[in-house]
């Protein structure tokens, strides 16, 4: 399942969305907005905008992960809008009969979400 949302990503809701009846492992990873992104000044927020068909791009990532790993279920959520420090940007959740596939699917999914071409990121900084 893939979702693009303006709404806050709720960890409990996300866990409830992923099937895990036959899985021995469920791995969830949340990317969050950090205060210091390695610039000279701290971040106040990051504006994520969708340009193009973000849901379709997530669907391609989902298909790639399902083909590559043994999964019972997979959930990819990408949030758009102006997100503050600590807000959840994205979620990759994978359930699998074994922990190795669940962890590796999450790891690979995270790297693919970072490279999405339909998301434009504009960082805003705290003014002095």
Q: What is the CATH number of the domain that holds 40?
A: 3.90.1170.40
The total of structural domains in the chain comes to: 1
Residue 16 domain-assigned?
Answer: no
Q: What is the pLDDT of residues 69-90, one digit of tens each?
A: 999 999 999 999 999 999 999 9
Question: With contact defined as beta carbons under 8 Å apart, do 72 and 107 qualify?
Answer: no
Q: What is the extent of the structural domain holding 84?
A: 2-7+22-125
Residue 115 domain-assigned?
Answer: yes
Q: What is the pTM of this model?
A: 0.91
Residue 17 domain-assigned?
Answer: no
**Which percentage of the chain shows pLDDT scores above 90?**
85
């Amino acid at each position: 399942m893939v979702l693009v949302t303006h709404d806050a990503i709720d960890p409990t809701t996300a866990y409830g969305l992923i099937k895990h009846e036959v899985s021995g492992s469920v791995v969830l990873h949340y990317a969050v907005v950090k205060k210091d992104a390695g610039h000279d000044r701290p971040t106040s927020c990051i504006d994520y905008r969708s340009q193009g068909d973000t849901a379709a791009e997530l669907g391609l990532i989902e298909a790639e992960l399902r083909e590559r790993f043994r999964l019972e279920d997979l959930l990819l959520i990408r949030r758009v809008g102006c997100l503050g420090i600590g807000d959840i940007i994205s979620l990759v959740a994978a359930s699998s009969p074994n922990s190795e596939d669940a962890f590796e699917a999450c790891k690979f999914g995270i790297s693919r979400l970072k490279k999405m071409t339909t998301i434009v990121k504009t960082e805003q900084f705290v003014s002095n």
